[in-house]
Structure 1
Amino acid sequence: MVELFLCSLLTIFPDFLFRRFVQGKRIGREITIYTVWYELRYGITACLVLTVALITLIFYFHPASNNVIAAFRTVTILPEKNGRVAEVFVKLNEEVKAGAPLFRLDSSEEEAALETARRRSAEIDAQLQVAKMELAAADGRITQAEAAYMQAQDELNTKTELMKRNADVVTKRELERLKVAADGREGAVREAMASKEVLQTQISSLLPAQKASAEAALAQAQVELDRTVVRAGVTGVVQQFALRAGDVVNPMIRSAGILVPTTDRRIGFIGGFLQIEAQVIKVGMIAEATCAAKPFTIIPMVVTEVQHVIASGQVRPTDQLVDIAQIARPGTITVYLEPLYPGLVDDIPLGSSCIANAYTNNHDELASPDISTGRWLYLHLIDTVGLVHALLLRLQAILLPIQTLVLSGH
């Protein structure tokens, strides 16, 4: 409507002045509701053409979006494993600190595993003490075996010396028996020493390794037990939290609630602009917005980021071929906006719906000494018509409360 009014001042109004003061035609006489088209046909036609051109120029080079949201970050409250809730520590809308417990799952299985790990660690400690005692006993067995071996060897040596002096004193059969007995005593010594080495290996290597494994299993059991207590990852307010003792939670299917951070939660203003404006929207463009939560206010902004992909075109691997006609609905270009000055949006609730305009700025190109006259006029025209779009945004800011409270029927 504003574009039509402005264009009519340049087309229909001059045509009417020519008809009235040059040709002498008057409204209600020569110019009536039935003859207005014929009399002002040049002005009306030029007005329509100019209006369409002006609207196209405005909305292309100064894009607008009604889909702007003050986005914010949330943290899903999820356990790391399935389980039944045993105890709940917080309430809905309660503010919690980072690390504070939220709820606890049934931990009977984890407690049993932890106790088993403790008993296994204590068992290995007892085995280590027993092995040390057996090592002392092994020293005694070695001493006993060595004494028996020396006695058998001395007896063998004595009989052998007697036989050398008088062959009739000692029989050959008896010497063989003493030889076998001495060899047996020597084997007993080796066995006792081998047993000692086995005990030393157990004390120095095997049992410490088993102790380390038991301590690792104990630590793992403690970790599993700690996981049954779900804690807040960040400081925030608990929302949509209706969990009660006895409920079953599943990290893949059912979450426990949402935690809204109290600090560093604002992502920014995210808007969806038409795809036809992809070549116009650039990082650094000046923008303006008005929000339903803060009527009658224009917020100056700047484009900080433009997403280079359109969400509607994403394809995920599935077990079926995807028909492009099912996903080829026109999507929007995601644009991130930030207030031009700090503190402008502090009183706007997160998640508010807004309307935003972005304005093309050709100041740098206009300042170039090599620009042609036609190009200079064209770029000045583009920058000038941005005022019309800015005026439209201000009219929307004024009419937004009326449309919401009166015309919408609420």
Structure 2
Amino acid sequence: MLEIIICSLVTILPDYLFRRYVQGKRFGKEITFYSVWYELRWGITGCLMLTVSLITLIFYFHPATTNATLYFRTVPILPEGSGRVAEVDIGFSQPVKKGDVLFRLDSSKQHAALETAKRKIAEVDASLIAAEADVVKAEAQVQEAKSNLQQARDELDVKSELQRRNPGIVPQRDIEKLQVLVNQRQAGVDAAAASRQSADLRVSTLLPAEKASAQAALNQSQVDLDKTVVRAGVDGRVEQFVLRVGDVVNQLMRPAGVLIPEGAGQEKLQAGFGQIEAQVIKDGMVAEATCISKPWVIIPMVVTSVQDYIAAGQFRGGDQLLEAQNAVKPGTILALLEPLYKGGLDGVTPGSSCIVNAYTSNHETITSKDTSTGRAIALHVVDGVGLVHALLLRIQALLLPIKTLVLSGH
């Protein structure tokens, strides 16, 4: 309607004024309801053509969308395992800090495993003390075996010397028996040394390894026990937290609730523009937005990024071929917008629906020396009609509460 009024000012109105005041025609006489079309046909036709051209020019070079929302990411509250809730530490809606306890699961099994691991460490410590005593015992056995070996060698040496000096004074059989005894005592020394080495290895290697394994099992048990206490991973707010003692939660089917991170939905506005505007929407474009949760306020914004893909065209590989006609409707070009000034989105509720206008600016092209006069004039017109779109946005912002509260029928 606004475009028609503007276009009529340069088409229908001059035509009417010419016929009324120059030709002297009057309403109800020469100009009647039936003769309006014939008398003002050039003005009406020009108005309609100019209106269509103006609307096309405005909405193409200064795109607008009502598909704009302050989307925000939520963090699911999930335990790392599964179990029955034993204690709930927060209410239905409550702000939380990182590390705050949200709820606890039943931990009787984890406590039992932790206690078993502690007893295993105590058992290994006791075995270590006993092994140290075995080392002392093995050392004594080695000394005893060496003493016995030395005694047998001395006796063999004495009788061998007597046999050398006076052959036949000592029976050869006795010397052979003493040699066997020395060999036997040497084997005893070797066995005692091996026993001592085994005891040393048990003290220095085996039992420390068993203790390390027991300590690792203790640490694992402690980790499993800590997992029964679910804490907030980030600062934020818990909403609609209806978990109660006795509920069973797990990672796949029964999440406990959601945590909304602090500042979520207060930094960027996501807007979906029509695909025909893909060549117009660029990074750095100035935009304006008005949101339902903050009526009668125009928020200056800037386009910070434009998604290179349209979400409606994505598919997952499966066992069926893709059928293009199954697409319900064409997707949109997703653009991310940030406030032009700090705190621009203050007061806008995350998740709120908004109306966004983006404006094309050709200032650099117009001021370039390589731009012709005709093109500069055309670009001036393109930039100038953005004022009409800005006015339309302000009219929408003014009528939005009335439309929502009165005309919606609620």
Output the TM-score relative to the length of structure 2.
0.94
Tell me if 1:178 matches 2:178.
yes
Alignment-mate amino acid for residue 268 of structure 2: G
CA spacing shift, 1:121–1:319, aligned 2, 3 Å: farther
Partner of 1:65: 65
CA contact (8 A) 1:73 1:267 kept: no
Distance (Å, rounded) in 2 between the aligned partners of 1:117 and 1:319: 50
Which sits farther off after the overlay, 186-195 or 106-115?
A: 106-115
Per the alignment, residue 146 of structure 1 pairs with 146
SS in 1 for 2:259: strand
Residue 253 (str. 1) matches residue 273 (str. 2): no
Deviates further, 93-102 or 326-335:
326-335
Select between 240-249 and 134-143 the one with higher mean Cα deviation. 240-249
The alpha-carbon deviation at position 218 of structure 1 amounts to 1.4
Question: What amino acid is aligned across from residue 155 of structure 1 in structure 2?
Answer: E
Q: Give the partner amino acid of 1:400.
A: L
Any gaps of 5 or more consecutive residues in structure 1? none
Q: Which runs of 5 or more residues in structure 2 are unaligned? A: none
Give the whole-Å Cα distance in 2 for the aligned partners of 1:321 and 1:117. Answer: 56
Q: Residue type of the partner of 2:96?
A: V
> Secondary structure of 1:68's partner?
strand
Corresponding residue for residue 311 of structure 1: 311
Q: Give 1:377 deviation, angstroms.
A: 1.0
Partner of 2:70: helix, strand, or coil?
Answer: strand
For 1:399, the equivalent position in structure 2 comes to 399
Mean alpha-carbon deviation: is it higher for 152-161 or for 107-116? Answer: 152-161
Look up the match of 1:126: 126
RMSD after superposition? 1.9
Post-superposition CA distance 1:209-267 (Å, at most 9, x none): 22222222211211111011000112222112111112111222221111223456624
**What does residue range 210-359 of structure 1 map to in structure 2 within 5 Å?**
210-263=210-263, 266-327=266-327, 329-359=329-359
Q: Which residue of 1 aligns with 2:89?
A: 89
Task: Give yes or no for contact 2:84–2:106 (8 Å, CA) kept in 1.
Answer: yes
Alpha carbons of structure 1 residues 329 and 264: separation in structure 2 relative to 1, 3 Å: closer
Q: State the alpha-carbon separation in 2 of the partners of residues 277 and 263 from structure 1.
A: 31
Match of 1:39 in 2: 39
Matched-pair contact (CA < 8 Å) for 1:312–1:328:
no
Contact residue 96 and residue 232 of structure 1 kept, 8 A: yes
Change (3 A) 1:202 1:326: farther
TM superposition shift of 1:146: 0.9
Distance 1:306 1:209 in 2: 58
AA aligned to 1:323 is E
Please state how far the C-alpha of 1:168 moved relative to its aligned partner.
4.8
**Identity across aligned pairs (percent)?**
58
Equivalent residue pairs, number: 410
Partner of 2:80: 80
After the TM superposition, which of the residue ranges 98-107 and 117-126 deviates more from structure 2? 117-126
Secondary structure (helix, strand or coil) at the match of 1:290 reads: strand
Give the direction of change, closer, same or farther, for the CA distance of 1:293–1:328 in structure 2 (3 Å limit).
Answer: closer
Provide runs of 4+ in structure 1 moved above 4 Å. Answer: 165-169
In 2, Cα distance between equivalents of 1:329 and 1:344: 33
Deviation, 1:52, is: 0.8
| CA 1:176–1:137: 2 relative to 1, 3 Å | same
Which residue does 1:100 correspond to in 2?
A: 100
Is 237-246 or 374-383 further displaced after alignment? 237-246
Query: What is the one-letter code of the residue matched to 2:157?
Result: N
Per-residue CA deviations over 1:315-350 (Å, capped at 9, x if unaligned) read 233454443433473111111122222233312222
Contact 2:265 2:350 (C-alpha < 8 Å) held by counterparts: no
Q: Hey, what does 2:376 align to over in structure 1?
A: 376
* Aligned-partner Cα distance in 1 for 2:109–2:172: 73
Cross-structure match for 1:196: 196
Please state how far the C-alpha of 1:167 moved relative to its aligned partner: 5.2
Residues 301 and 340 of structure 2 are in contact (CA less than 8 Å); yes or no, is this contact kept in structure 1? yes
SS at match of 2:344: coil
Amino acid at match of 1:244: R
Question: Deviations along 1:332-375, whole A, 9 cap, x unmatched?
Answer: 11111222222333122222211110111111111112211110
CA distance in 1, matches of 2:130, 2:264: 59
Contact map agreement 1:65 1:356 (CA 8 A) in 2? yes
Please give the alpha-carbon distance, in whole angstroms, between the structure 1 residues aligned to 2:325 and 2:82.
Answer: 39
Shift of 1:287: 1.0
Counterpart AA for 1:309: Y
Deviations 1:61-108 (A, max 9, x none): 001011111233432211111222121111111222211111111222
Distance 1:90 1:343, change over 3 A: same
* SS of match in other structure, 2:303: strand
**Within 2, Cα distance between the matches of 1:134 and 1:225?**
38
Supply the distance in 1 between the matched residues of 2:409 and 2:222 (Cα, whole angstroms): 59
| Partner Cα distance (1:271, 1:208) in 2 | 63
Query: Which one-letter code corresponds to 1:270 in the other structure?
Result: Q
**CA separation of 1:265/1:286 partners in 2, compared to 1, >3 Å: closer, same or farther?**
closer
Distance in 2, Cα, partners of 1:305 & 1:209 = 57
- What displacement does 1:165 show? 4.7
